[in-house]
Structure 1
Amino acid sequence: MSVSAAAEPKRPRAPARERTVGTRVAGQPAFVLHSYPYKETSLIVDMLTRDYGRVALIAKGAKRPHSQLRGVLQTFQPLSASWTGKNELRTLTDAEWVGGMLPLEKTALLCGFYLNELLVKLLARDDAHPDLFNHYVSTLNQLAHNEPAPIVLRKFERALLKETGVAADLARCADTRERVRAEVVYVVDPERGPRPERAADQAPRVSGKTLLDMEREDYQDAATQAQSKQLMRFLLAHHLGGAPLNTRQILIDLMQL
């Protein structure tokens, strides 16, 4: 059934202080997710921004030795970014390092690259998610302060699925809408949610307690940590359409995260 234009939900708009006239954006909080060469001296930079979501920007001349952008466009560093253009690929006009965050090191650095890969593969461009942006900042800070990586990653994975609208309510059975019971074993349909296990099920089996713990972001129990890891791996694989996550495989090999 068609929906009239008047009935369509309006997309989030950036605050007025972050917008300028026409197609210019100035002073937008941002992080580099990924970049790759463009022509001889430039880069295409995939950025996560607070009020505009994931955007693709051409950083002209950024590969030149004396470009002021060369040392600024680094991952996991908070930036203030400005750009122009109205097409999907815009032009970066300025990027300044904001500071105030500890660098990621060792395993935390690899976890950061895993977060970035998830965002690049699961977030549509130009779709604002300010709460997810704030969660990303918080997650980087937790990793930098050596908080337990498995717990930090599970919370972010769950937040990402919620923000993209594909996370089922883990506290309610999909068929009956009854509350999940801690002592019952379930499987989770990626599209619908939990239901009691059946003999022929191929999906990971998880206890009701694990599902309830995940809903309240309580990962202190060792069984919850182990079962939530398998469940999130299964759910992400489904929503990624089977596309591999390179950094996750490296993490599995190194730390079994």
Structure 2
Amino acid sequence: MSFPLANDDTQSDADPAALERSLGQENTPKSQASGDGRRRGATDRRAKSPERETRISAQPAFVLHSYPYKETSLIVDVFSRDYGRVALVAKGAKRPHSKLRGVLQTFQPLSVGWTGKAEIRTLTDAEWIGGLLPLEKAALLCGFYLNELLVKLLARDDPHPGLFDHYVATLNQLAHDEPAPIVLRKFERALLKETGVAGTLSMDSVSGQPVISDETYVVDPERGPRPAHASDNSPRVSGKTLLDMEREDYTDATTQLQSKFLMRFLLAHHLGGTPLNTRQILIDLTQL
């Protein structure tokens, strides 16, 4: 099972450009693509840079998403600890007797290897490590939500070892039936911090003073908390909620409720309007 991405490409003869688009790679602006010969030459030299001629082995990783490529292969989007998100071609993975067939599963710790210099590289090895309980029922849906967030918010080849460790811990918490709303809020906040778009919630961005517990605020996605005004359309939260979120304390029921709507608002902003398919399912089914 994989979460539904709006730009999946399941055609058997997908070309490289289509694969790049389907994995979320940004297109080169026309102004850059139409430069002079000197600029193109520089681009060619960058493409042949030795540092891209990589052979990686025994890298801790998780499958985030996969889909068919040609008749017998898969394109696999993995989240690796030391290299971030990497797109890999798993050749022959769809064949009935392929060793990869039962290994490339979501939410299972893997040790993977790959080679190649392109944006989409070639999987050379994948081994199941184990050590995590499988996700079931609502926890499974939460896991797909985490994966969709990572696919849509993380750039490829951008390492986040701390976030990787947080992801592992989050899967473990979900597997052990810890309260999903609290687990998800902590991960959402960690993800925005790791990608550099979340500042402190404990300081008023207008006055520069500490947030006051019994005051009401809104959070500007680019600047941070500020006092709420009557004309504001964004979610209103108490100073206490912001302070609780800053120290990852979600025991208060009001903090849980306000943080849910605040994080939904912030994620929507940073996704640029791109819908989260699994988030809508969670809203409809479990109100997480």
TM > 0.5? yes
The residue number in structure 2 matching 1:208 is: 239
The answer as to 2:225 corresponding to 1:194 is yes
Equivalence map 1:42-61=2 (5 Å): 42-61=73-92
Corresponding residue SS for 2:93: coil
Aligned counterparts, 1:64-79, within 5 A: 64-79=95-110
Distance 1:106 1:79 in 2: 22
Q: For residues 134-179 of structure 1, what are the alpha-carbon distances to aligned partners after superposition, in whole Å with 9 as ceiling and x for unaligned?
A: 0000000000000000000000000000000000210001112100
TM-score (norm 1): 0.91
Are residues 1:153 and 2:209 paired? no
Paired position in structure 1 for 2:283: 252
Which structure 1 residue ranges, 4+ long, deviate > 2 Å from structure 2? none
The one-letter amino acid of 1:50's match is R
Task: Select the residue among 134, 138, 162 that pairs with 1:103.
Answer: 134
Query: SS of 1:211's equivalent?
Result: helix
Instruction: Kindly state the Cα deviation for residue 184 of structure 1 after the two structures are TM-superposed.
Output: 0.2
Q: Provide the rounded CA distance (Å) in 2 between the counterparts of 1:203 and 1:172.
A: 18
After TM superposition, give the deviation of residue 33 of structure 1 in Å: 0.1
Of 162, 168, 171 in structure 2, the residue corresponding to residue 140 of structure 1 is 171
Which residue does the alignment assign to 1:174? 205
CA contact (8 A) 1:31 1:79 kept: yes
Give distance in 1, aligned partners of 2:93 and 2:286.
35
Give the aligned partner of residue 155 of structure 2. Answer: 124
Q: Deviations over 1:78-108 (max 9, x none)?
A: 0000000011100000100000110000000
Question: Residue 40 of structure 1: CA displacement?
Answer: 0.8
Contact 1:41 1:61 in 2 (8 A): yes
Q: Out of 117-126 and 22-31, give the one that drifted further.
A: 22-31
Cα deviations by residue, 1:173-212 (Å, 9 ceiling, x for unpaired): 1112100000000000000000000010000000000000
Distance 2:131 2:206 in 1: 47
Contact 1:26/1:81 (<8 A) preserved: yes
Counterpart of 1:80 (choices 100, 111, 122) is 111
SS in 1 for 2:142: helix
Q: How many residues align?
A: 238
- Decide whether the 8 Å contact of 1:168 with 1:193 is kept in 2: yes
Equivalent AA in structure 1 for residue 141 of structure 2: L
- What amino acid is aligned across from residue 58 of structure 1 in structure 2? V
The sequence identity of aligned pairs, in percent, is 79
What is the root-mean-square deviation of aligned Cα atoms in Å?
Answer: 1.1
- Unaligned runs of at least 5 residues, structure 1: 1-20
Does the CA contact (< 8 Å) of 1:168 and 1:190 recur in 2?
no
Shifted more, 175-184 versus 219-228: the winner is 175-184
Aligned AA for 1:123? L
* Contact 1:23 1:84 (8 Å CA) reproduced: yes
1:165 matched residue in structure 2 = 196
Query: 1:50-104 deviations in whole A, cap 9, x for unaligned?
Result: 0000000000000000000011000000000000001110000010000011000
Report the alpha carbon displacement of residue 22 of structure 1 after superposing the two structures with TM. 5.0
What are the ranges of 5 or more consecutive residues in structure 2 without an aligned counterpart? 1-51
- CA distance in structure 2 between the partners assigned to 1:239 and 1:113 by the alignment: 19
Q: Distance in 1 between matches of 2:148 and 2:279?
A: 9
